[in-house]
Every structure is written in C-alpha cells, then in structure tokens.
Structure 1
Amino acid sequence: MFHTQLEWLNTLKPNFKVLPLKERLLCGIGALLGLTISSFISWYVLGDFNAWYIAPMGASSVLLFAVPASPLAQPWNMVVGNVIAGVIGVTCAMYIPGQTEAFSIAVALSIFLMMTTDSLHPPSGAVAITAVLGGEPVHQLGYAFIFYPVLLNSVLLLVVAIIFNRMLGKQYPQVAQVNTRSKDPTPTQKVSIQPKDIQEVLDQQTELLDISEYDLQKIILQAQEKASARAVSQFCCQDIMSRDVISLHAEDDIHLALNKFKDMNLMSLPVINAEGGLVGTLALYEVVEWFKRAADPKAGWEHKVRHIMSKKVVTVQPMQPVHDLIPYFVERSFNYIPVVEQQRLVGIISRADMIAVLDRQLSTLLKQ
C-alpha cells in the first residue's frame, strides 16, 4: 500500500534532471550574489525610497541562475516581460477601482501581451500584481514604477546573471542557432535531422514548451550520435593515427615554418618543444598575418614560431574512440587533431584518416 502511494506521488513530480550538489550550490550562490549586488546598487541609487526592490526579482533569480537555458530566462523575456507587466499593472491600478478585479485583469493582459511579443517571463505576473497591491509608495510613483524599481532591478540582476553564468562557462544568453558559420544546416544536420524538421514539429504543438529550439537541436543531435556509435564498430585513435608526425619546433624561425608549409602543402602544423611535448599549433593564416604586420616596429621582436602560435590546442588520447572526433572535423572544420600521451605528441589524425575510417564503417553497414 505504501509503495503504491509513493508511485502515485511520483506521477506528480516533473520529469526534471536533478543537478549534482556542486551545481545546485552554484545556482544558489549565483542567486545570492545577484540579489545582493542588484539590491545594494538599487538601494544606493534610490536612497530611502520604500520600494527600492521588488519581490518578483526573487522569482526571476530562480530562472536566471537555476535554468538560464530556459527561453523564459532570456534577457528579452526578463526586460520586456517586466516592462509590459509594469505598464499593464500601473494602468489597471489607476483605472480599475476594485483591487481583485485590477490585479486579475492585469495578470491576464500581461500574459496575453507577453506571449504575443514572445517575451513570456513568469515572474512578470508578480510584477503586475505588485503594481496593484504595492501600497501607497508604489501608487505614488505612477508610471515611474516601470523605470524604478522594475527596469532598474531587472537590468542590474540581468547583468550579474550574464557575468556569473559566463564565468561558469555557461552560454547565456542562448545563441540562436547551432551553425555559427552560416544560415545553412550544419554538415551533420544535412544528413540527419535539420532545424526545419524540428521547427515543423514544433509548429504543430499547441502547448508552449519550456525549452529552446536551439537546445532541442543539440539534444537530438547528441542522442543521434550516441545511437550511431552503437551501430558501428569502434576504432581507437591509435588505430588510425599517423605516427610519423610533421611538426614545427617552438624555436623555429617563422620563415622556416613558411617553407615547411609550402613543401608539405599543409594549412596548419602542430608545434612541439625540445622534449617533444605539444605546446601549440600554427596555422598558415597566422604566418600570413605576421607578414602583414612585419613592418610594424612593435612587432619587430616576433621572429620565432612560439611568438605567433596558438597555445590552445584540442587533443585526444591514443585509446579514445574515433567517434569522439567527428564533431571537430564535421562541425568545426578541423584539419587535424594531435594525439597526446603524457603530454608528448605521439601521433596525428587528419581529416583524410577520418574519411577513410568512416568509409570503411559505411561499407560494413551496407554489407550487413
């Protein structure tokens, strides 16, 4: 009987991911910092003003710091939604005598207008109610209530949320599309599920989903990659890597590097130190840029590869599955990826290597 009751209670719970303890703590710390900083600045700007901070900002902080990927938490929704609710709430407070009727109509109109302008932000409903039930300090402000504290609080909290989420490595605000190079679908999408396919399905939905089309695309593509990985045999990086690696030394002269690019007809090369450790990568375009600024006296000291190389390098391990490399070659157009073991360059995997292994896997599937 007790077990049955627990199962019934589980049907009331959302199908929502419970984040690890560290992530939950960071969400709480973000809200703490956001509310404290924005509240202090609002208080400093407005002085002894009684309504220098409003309660709906607490609800906004839940979205901004706990679920920043939600469409409801985006800056447009935060600012525009609160402004719309503020305008409607103040107007209803002025012209509708009964408080119950005033805040009910204010919330209803706010929802309609926010959905019409694609700026739905749930805490904005509380902004509309605050404009009606906020008491004399709020009513005395009239339409100034929209600018302070509503707009002031919103912008300050939003700025803190952007900085905090970026510091944690989270993409906030959300970018509009997966393919950042063009409006076309990415190479992976062209042969699988495309954004227009997802959009057509979403257009048929009559309910608002609390997930962005961008995140939906990422989840579907990642799930498809995992499904494809189960359907093909797994190669490790050491199985297909080239061990006789053409590379540059950090102390090489840039002119020597250019000659190697010309002789090998390559667009980029890994850079190693005297011990054989990978320390960077140098692309041909970086050499071209160096020649462009060679006449600049400020750049006169640049004459070695280490002066102009990129120190940020994506690497893989010898035993890492080849399937992990596909997004780099397909979505980010990498020419090669170095294979590193104990910080030493032991091999390299080129785009041609990937094409060969994928062709073999495709042939194997067709024979099955």
Structure 2
Amino acid sequence: MFHTKLEWLNTLKPNFKVLPLKERLLCGIGALLGLMISSFISWYVLGDFNAWYIAPMGASSVLLFAVPASPLAQPWNMIVGNSIAGLIGVTCALYIPNLTEAFSVAVALSIFLMMSTDSLHPPSGAVAITAVLGGNVVHQLGYYFIFYPVLLNSVLLLIFAIVFNRLLGKQYPQIAQVNTRSKDPTPTQKVTIQPQDIQDVLEHQTELLDISEYDLQKIILEAQDKANARMVSDYLCQDIMSKDVICLHAEDDIHEALDKFKRVNLMSLPVVNLENELVGTLALYDIVEWFKRAADPRASWEHLVKQIMDRKVVTVKPSQTIQDLIPYFVEKSFNYIPVVEQQKLVGIVSRADMIAALNQQLNRL
C-alpha cells in the first residue's frame, strides 16, 4: 500500500535530472552572489529609494543560475519580458481602478505579448503584479518603474549570471546551433537526425515546451522516424557535403590567409575567384614555405594567395557516390574534397563527413 502511494507521488514529479551536490551548491551560490551584488549596486544607484529591488528577481535567479540552458532564461526573454510586463502593469495600474481586475488583466496581456515576441519569462508575471500592487512608492514612479528598478535589476542580475556561468564553463547565453564552425549540421547530424527534423516535429506540438529530458527523448524518437524514411542505401556527395564552405579568395593577401587559418584551425582551404569558381587550394604548409623563402629576392613579388596556391585540385560532382571518394581519403590522406558544379564551388566533403556516413551505413548492416 505504502509502495503504491509512492508510485502515485512519482507521477506528479517532473522528469528533471537531479544534479550532483556540488552543482546544486554552485547554483545556490550563484543566486546568492547575484542577488547580493545586483541588490547592492541598485541600492547604491538609487539610494534610500524604497523600491530599489523587486521580488521577481528572485524568480529570475532560479532560471539564470539553476537552468541557464532553458529557453525561458535567455537574455532576450529576461530583458524584453520584464520590460513588457512592467509597461503593461503600470498601464493597468493607471487606468483600471479595481486592483483585482488590474493585475489579472496585466498578467494576461503580458503573457500574450511575451509569447508573441518570443520573450516568455515566467518571473515577468510577478513584475506585472508588482506594478499594480507595489503600493504608493511604485505608483508614484509611473512609467519610470520600467527603467528602475525593473530594467536596472534585470541588467545587473543578467550580467552577473553571464559572468558566473562562463566561469563555471557553462555556455550562457545558449548558442543557436551545435556546429560553431559553419551553418551546416555536424557530420553526424547530416546522416542521422538533422535540426530541421526536430523543427518539423516541434511544429506539430501544441504545447510550449521548456525542454525536459522526457520531452527531448520523445522528440528525438519522432525525428528518428523521419530520418529513417529519408535514408538511402548509397549516399551521394550532395547528401553529406557542407554547403557553408570556409574558403579563401585568390586576391587575398597571404597574411590575411594566415589569419583565417588561425581562426578556423584547419590545415588547408579551397580558393575561389570573384565568381565563386574553384581555382585552387592553399595549405598551411604552403604559407610556411612562403615564409621560408621570403628573404629570397626572387620571391618578393609573391604576396597574394593566387601566387602560391596549388592549382591542381581533385574535385567531385554533387551526384557522385561517396564510394568514389574513399581512395582519396584512405590512400592519399585527403582532409577534404571540394564539390563542384559548373565550375562553381558548391560544397566540400570532409574526412569527418565520410566517417559519419560510413559508420551509419555499417550500423544498418
């Protein structure tokens, strides 16, 4: 009987992961320091002003320090959401005499406008109520309430949250995509579940999801069904190639090319002309050799990429199967092969793309 009651209680719990003790303590310490520091600065700026800090910031700190990966905790949501709620709350307080009606309408309108501007932030509902029920001190501020304490508190707490989370090695604010090098999916995503698959599934969801582990598993399973339907027995180059290609231009200065190599951490890059036609490749090795002979008067005229690049380039067409590429990657240790259509560079197939595709084919055997 007791065991049955426990099972029933478990159905009421969210399917959230319980963090280790250290992580839980760090979340609490972050909120403690964030609220203390931003509160002190607000007090210092506003002096003995009675409303120098507002209670909704406590709710915001839960999101910023405990679940910074949540869509509801991102800077846009906090700043825009709190501003909208403050504006609506002050307006309702000024023009709706009945307090119950005023804060009810304020919260309802704030939710609608935050969802319309993709800035939903749950603590903003409390900001709207504070604007209505905050008493004479808040009412006397009028629309200045939006700037202080609302925006002042929000910005200060947000700045500390960014610094604190970065110091812990957490990515905050969240980046828009997994692949930070280009706009393309990662090599693994290209041959399994792509971001577009997940977006297609989300479009059919009627609820606004603040993603939990259970929700993510459900989305991935449905997205996998779509990916399986797309799978073919043989991949073509166009199926796995990266279209957002990092490349050099023939007229680039060699020093500029070296700077790009440093930024992208690659050993070789394709070279195109003004018409985006592939005209060669340049390896970091070629730049090293150029520096070695820089003192030679016969090489003093070389200062552009086109003057030191390799003009003999192995290319493939988008419609070729990836099996045609295997000898180049295996026997000649190519890092990538440009994909060309009508002489224009349309993509590249990298060694990582090939490994991911071949691994996927092995898994289906």
CA distance in 1 between partners of 2:140 and 2:83 (Å): 18
Q: Give runs of aligned pairs for residues 150-299 of structure 1, distance below 5 A.
A: 150-211=150-211, 267=267, 284=284, 288=288, 291=291
Q: Give runs of aligned pairs for residues 82-93 of structure 1, distance below 5 A.
A: 82-93=82-93
Matched, 1:148 2:156: no
CA distance in 1 between partners of 2:41 and 2:148 (Å): 12
Q: CA RMSD in A?
A: 3.6
CA distance in 1 between partners of 2:26 and 2:8 (Å): 32
Deviation of the 1:190 alpha carbon: 1.6
Q: Go from structure 1 to structure 2 and tell me whether the alpha carbon gap of 1:80 and 1:25 turns closer, same or farther (over 3 Å shift).
A: same
1:64 counterpart residue number: 64
CA distance in 2 between partners of 1:187 and 1:356 (Å): 8
> What stretches of structure 1 of length at least 5 have no aligned partner?
225-265, 269-282, 296-333, 336-350
Secondary structure at the residue paired with 2:18? coil
Deviation of the 1:185 alpha carbon: 2.3
Instruction: Determine if contact 1:78/1:121 at 8 Å carries over to the other structure.
Output: yes
Deviation of the 1:362 alpha carbon: 7.1
Secondary structure at the residue paired with 1:68? coil
2:32 counterpart residue number: 32
1:46 counterpart residue number: 46
Deviation of the 1:138 alpha carbon: 0.2
Deviation of the 1:96 alpha carbon: 0.3
Instruction: Determine if contact 2:188/2:356 at 8 Å carries over to the other structure.
Output: no
Q: Go from structure 1 to structure 2 and tell me whether the alpha carbon gap of 1:86 and 1:288 turns closer, same or farther (over 3 Å shift).
A: farther
Encode CA deviations 1:282-309: one digit per residue, 9 max, x unaligned: x9379659949x99xxxxxxxxxxxxxx
Deviation of the 1:181 alpha carbon: 2.9
Report the residue type matching 1:205 in the other structure: Q
Secondary structure at the residue paired with 1:19? coil
> What stretches of structure 2 of length at least 5 have no aligned partner?
225-265, 269-282, 296-333, 336-349
CA distance in 2 between partners of 1:118 and 1:91 (Å): 22
1:120 counterpart residue number: 120
2:326 counterpart residue number: none
Instruction: Determine if contact 1:69/1:211 at 8 Å carries over to the other structure.
Output: no
Deviation of the 1:3 alpha carbon: 1.2
Encode CA deviations 1:314-338: one digit per residue, 9 max, x unaligned: xxxxxxxxxxxxxxxxxxxx96xxx
Encode CA deviations 1:142-165: one digit per residue, 9 max, x unaligned: 000000000000000000000000
CA distance in 1 between partners of 2:360 and 2:101 (Å): 66
CA distance in 2 between partners of 1:50 and 1:87 (Å): 20
Q: Go from structure 1 to structure 2 and tell me whether the alpha carbon gap of 1:354 and 1:71 turns closer, same or farther (over 3 Å shift).
A: closer
TM-score (norm 2): 0.62
CA distance in 2 between partners of 1:197 and 1:10 (Å): 32
Q: Go from structure 1 to structure 2 and tell me whether the alpha carbon gap of 1:157 and 1:356 turns closer, same or farther (over 3 Å shift).
A: closer
1:132 counterpart residue number: 132
Instruction: Determine if contact 2:188/2:353 at 8 Å carries over to the other structure.
Output: no
Deviation of the 1:189 alpha carbon: 1.6
CA distance in 2 between partners of 1:288 and 1:143 (Å): 62
TM-score (norm 1): 0.62
Encode CA deviations 1:3-58: one digit per residue, 9 max, x unaligned: 11111111111111000000000000000110011000000000000000000000
Encode CA deviations 1:128-149: one digit per residue, 9 max, x unaligned: 0000000010000000000000
Deviation of the 1:122 alpha carbon: 0.2
Encode CA deviations 1:154-205: one digit per residue, 9 max, x unaligned: 0000000000000000000000112223323222222111111111100011
CA distance in 2 between partners of 1:107 and 1:178 (Å): 35
Q: Give runs of aligned pairs for residues 70-81 of structure 1, distance below 5 A.
A: 70-81=70-81
Q: Go from structure 1 to structure 2 and tell me whether the alpha carbon gap of 1:352 and 1:13 turns closer, same or farther (over 3 Å shift).
A: closer
Instruction: Determine if contact 2:187/2:356 at 8 Å carries over to the other structure.
Output: no
CA distance in 1 between partners of 2:155 and 2:146 (Å): 12
CA distance in 1 between partners of 2:208 and 2:55 (Å): 26
CA distance in 1 between partners of 2:175 and 2:289 (Å): 29
CA distance in 2 between partners of 1:289 and 1:32 (Å): 56
Deviation of the 1:2 alpha carbon: 1.2
Q: Go from structure 1 to structure 2 and tell me whether the alpha carbon gap of 1:354 and 1:115 turns closer, same or farther (over 3 Å shift).
A: closer
CA distance in 2 between partners of 1:189 and 1:74 (Å): 25
Instruction: Determine if contact 1:93/1:99 at 8 Å carries over to the other structure.
Output: yes
Paired residues, number: 255
2:21 counterpart residue number: 21
Q: Go from structure 1 to structure 2 and tell me whether the alpha carbon gap of 1:358 and 1:133 turns closer, same or farther (over 3 Å shift).
A: closer
Instruction: Determine if contact 1:42/1:52 at 8 Å carries over to the other structure.
Output: yes
Q: Go from structure 1 to structure 2 and tell me whether the alpha carbon gap of 1:69 and 1:365 turns closer, same or farther (over 3 Å shift).
A: closer
Deviation of the 1:364 alpha carbon: 6.3
CA distance in 2 between partners of 1:44 and 1:36 (Å): 12
CA distance in 2 between partners of 1:37 and 1:290 (Å): 54
